[in-house]
Structure 1
Amino acid sequence: MVKSFSNLSDPSAPHTVRELSNGLADRRYSAVELVEHYLREIDATVDSVRAFVQVFRSDARQQAEESDERRRTGRALSPIDGIPFAVKDIIGIGGQKMSAGSRAVDIVPGSDAPIISQLRAAGGIVLGTTRMHELAYGPSGLNDFDGGARNPRFPGIIPGGSSSGSAAAVAAGLSPIAFGSDTGGSIRAPATLCGIVGFKPSYGLLPTEGVHPTAPTLDHLGFLTSTVQDLRIAMNVFAHIPLAPEGVSTTRRLAVFDEPGLTVDPAIATALRSALDALSDGGWQIESVTPPGGFDVMDVSTTIMAYEAYRVNRERLEKVPELLGSDVRERLEDGARIPRERYEEAWREVDRVREQMSALADPFDALVNATIPITGPSTEEGALPDVRRMLMRNTRLQNLLGAPAISLPGGQDGPAPWGIQLFSSPGRDGALLATAAAVSDTLGG
């Protein structure tokens, strides 16, 4: 039975959440066999991909046995009963060490974070915890503490941060789905750089209690997967969003910001234009719109993020600065210098723009841009401050607005890797996922 899914390089082999769920339901293989398969794959990539911090072998096997017994007696809890999940090492798992990618963090939660409780209640299996940019405070995925994960699909290119290990685990076929967190693009950037799909729901739609904070007013939980359909299954289970919501409007309208800075690299601009042309040929109406003026997204978001991240980590910075990586320590020190008045003014700017953005977005199925405006940086390039800033140039706005956003692989007609980002107004998560599925179908994803 294991042979039916042991070779994930075979296009006919099941590897998505949907395929694996169907296989479990049809008894083509068991959850135990599925877990054993992924444990072998993880073991085979310990040195090459380095996606996992901890692997919970005995717990995963026990969870799988319990899932198989439920299915044997017709008591499956949900479509994800028996499906393995990778969990970013920022989400509390009762009795297991959480390091948040840092030598300055050593926490053993007494209980599961609510999102993990939801996972267990639905029958999902926790495989282990994944590597990340230290304190979830960086876009590269590079980590002075443990070296970070490796990009399995594009060797030599950074995996992206901060959910680097979660993206690498899915891209390498070590887990069909992974939890990530996103404060300024930390799900969408690694999804792009590892060639997979990443989704950040509306703010607060998934509970962040029990998750080590970065900047609490901007922190979101979300998922990394291989397909949009897998995201729809996950959001149905965790947020009760219907698998078949109202869907895409009959006009199939997409809006693109007419702002040159959103595609800095000519190769990205060309690839995005090609994708938009393909969508237009496929029946989509593509329109240019002008974003609200007088609003510096990077300045405002950096002010808010740095101010809050410093206060979350103030004690670590003051007592054990030597345990922090240099890039994170410098950013926390920057946050310490931001006065409260500037922070409050930044939020007033967000409030001013929020209503304008909703009015701009509401007539469309989604707004579209390149997820990252530059081609994938090398490990050496990814450590440069200017490059780190560019990695999040196009993904910060959605966190400020609390809006849902998804990154899709950009396809074969552009630089490898690149991604397409779709986003909408807060609360339109189901409609955005339906739009993303339709866009992916049009582009042949």
Structure 2
Amino acid sequence: MTTLSNSPNPSVPRTVRELRDGLAGRRYSAVELVEHCLQQIDATTESVRAFVDVFSSDARRQAKESDERRQAGKPLSPLDGIPFAVKDIISIRGRRMAAGSRSVDLVPSSDAAVIAQLRAAGGVILGTTRLHELAYGPSGLNDFDGGARNPRFPGVIPGGSSSGSAAAVAAGLSPIAFGSDTGGSVRAPAALCGVVGFKPSYDLLATAGVHPTAPTLDHLGLLASSVEDVRIAMNVFADLPLTEEELGASRRLAVFDDPGLAVDPAIATALRSAVDSLSDHGWRVESVTAPSGFDVMEVSTTIMAYEAYRVNRERLETVPEFLGADVRERLEDGARITDAQYERARREVDRVRAQMSALARPFDALVNATIPITGPSIEDGARPGVRRMLMRNTRLQNLLGAPAISLPGADSGPAPWGIQLFAERGRDAALLACAAAVAADLAD
């Protein structure tokens, strides 16, 4: 039996598929796998800082139970024995939740819906991961607990708000992790840390038991090392098919252009190169333009800020000193948004939703850069203008409730960068099949 701790390159992330097959083939046990992850977490406590809390005893117990089920020929799912990291806004019964803030101190009495699903599937919970405070920021920087570090690109921000989950996967501490995404909070850290980040259609992964940020925009998502890993997990959590049948024979993509959202020239060049490579692999690539008269940033900021203020109003009014300056400022901005402004923004989304569905329907996916700027340094990431730029390309999909995925950009581009694919709401299986094919062709 292989001993994972003796691997010659233990920091390289192992995929869920490889680990699933290794467990099924008895090449190692779930206990050995979890011990390996715990050793790697311990070794990177200061350098990566991905985890808030590590559930060592519980993880070992869950792994032992998984091995016993497999020995009896009764694994619960393809995820049985697979370690997961969990963003610290997702309720885990009996475990403290701080949501990255001094203003939150909860011990949930029950599991979030996705944690209940994970337990039923036999997944092993390694612990909770760091995040931008209250999941309300794109940089991943956190004055309260210092935040996570980017293990692939030192000196570059990890991205937020699911910074610790992305860092855990990128550093090989966990093969897969839960994150949340209100305006790009799974996809941005995925792009900045060089992993895959998937935000499904609205509420396909239930948000019950998740600390809210802006409820009409909040999504749960997954971070992993490959599209195939996401597909395996989504097949368990949402019964999405794993076959390639969902990919249209046309292999048709559209580069999505929003003239109102500027892109750094280096990112534009890298995206163009990737699209040219896909064309060489037989993809039909066209261009489409965003609906006119729709300001994504203005509309999304209005809705997000209005809702986030109402979620957090009590803590802003009673313990403002417990909030980081950037989050407090954004919540104060939300307090100034009127009901009329909010309703007007919601009507704008309704107006554009049908137009975007019609625009996306003929294609396997729409394509753009996940982040329109090169990876900011930690110093630059704290600047308001940079923070605003980070989410310019990822806000639209939350407004639409549409599925979106970020793939790591080619090594030849500016490091780091990511390619975003998105599709019409409800076409999650088709998007994942498309993303798997795109990733394979770009790696060729």
Q: TM-score range by the shorter chain?
A: over 0.9
Q: Structure 1 312/371 Cα, relative in aligned 2: closer, same or farther at 3 Å? A: same
For these two proteins, the number of residue pairs brought into alignment is: 444
* Contact 2:182-2:398 within 8 A present in 1 as well: yes
CA deviations 1:7-29 (Å, max 9, x no partner) are 37379x88100000000001110
Counterpart AA for 1:307: Y
* Residue number in structure 2 paired with 1:125: 124
* Residue number in structure 2 paired with 1:88: 87
What secondary structure, in the 3-state scheme, does the structure 2 residue paired with 1:112 have?
coil
Using the TM superposition, give the Cα deviation of residue 257 of structure 1 relative to its aligned residue in structure 2, in angstroms. 2.2
Q: Structure 1 391/203 Cα, relative in aligned 2: closer, same or farther at 3 Å? A: same
Using the TM superposition, give the Cα deviation of residue 249 of structure 1 relative to its aligned residue in structure 2, in angstroms. 1.2
Alignment of 1:219-298 (within 5 A): 219-244=218-243, 246-260=245-259, 262=261, 264-298=263-297
Report sequence identity in percent.
77
Matched, 1:3 2:3: yes
Using the TM superposition, give the Cα deviation of residue 256 of structure 1 relative to its aligned residue in structure 2, in angstroms. 1.1
Please give the alpha-carbon distance, in whole angstroms, between the structure 2 residues aligned to 1:192 and 1:289.
23
Please give the alpha-carbon distance, in whole angstroms, between the structure 2 residues aligned to 1:86 and 1:96.
14
Matched, 1:36 2:38: no
Using the TM superposition, give the Cα deviation of residue 48 of structure 1 relative to its aligned residue in structure 2, in angstroms. 0.1
Matched, 1:51 2:50: yes
Using the TM superposition, give the Cα deviation of residue 294 of structure 1 relative to its aligned residue in structure 2, in angstroms. 0.3
Using the TM superposition, give the Cα deviation of residue 246 of structure 1 relative to its aligned residue in structure 2, in angstroms. 2.8
* Residue number in structure 1 paired with 2:428: 429
Q: Structure 1: where are the runs of 5+ without partners?
A: none
Counterpart AA for 1:392: M
Counterpart AA for 2:31: V
Please give the alpha-carbon distance, in whole angstroms, between the structure 2 residues aligned to 1:7 and 1:327.
42
What secondary structure, in the 3-state scheme, does the structure 2 residue paired with 1:367 have?
strand
* Residue number in structure 2 paired with 1:199: 198
Matched, 1:151 2:145: no
* Contact 1:163-1:190 within 8 A present in 2 as well: yes
* Residue number in structure 2 paired with 1:210: 209
Please give the alpha-carbon distance, in whole angstroms, between the structure 2 residues aligned to 1:125 and 1:34.
10
* Contact 1:140-1:382 within 8 A present in 2 as well: yes
Counterpart AA for 2:73: G
* Contact 1:2-1:37 within 8 A present in 2 as well: no
Using the TM superposition, give the Cα deviation of residue 260 of structure 1 relative to its aligned residue in structure 2, in angstroms. 4.8
* Residue number in structure 2 paired with 1:323: 322
* Contact 1:262-1:370 within 8 A present in 2 as well: no
What secondary structure, in the 3-state scheme, does the structure 1 residue paired with 2:149 have?
coil
Counterpart AA for 1:442: D
What secondary structure, in the 3-state scheme, does the structure 1 residue paired with 2:419 have?
strand
Counterpart AA for 1:339: T
Q: Structure 1 396/6 Cα, relative in aligned 2: closer, same or farther at 3 Å? A: farther
TM (norm. structure 1) is 0.98
CA deviations 1:157-194 (Å, max 9, x no partner) are 00000000000000000000000000000000000000
What secondary structure, in the 3-state scheme, does the structure 2 residue paired with 1:59 have?
helix
TM (norm. structure 2) is 0.98
Counterpart AA for 2:159: G
CA deviations 1:71-94 (Å, max 9, x no partner) are 000000000000000000000000
Counterpart AA for 2:129: T
* Residue number in structure 2 paired with 1:17: 16
* Contact 2:191-2:407 within 8 A present in 1 as well: yes
Aligned-residue Cα RMSD (Å) equals 1.3
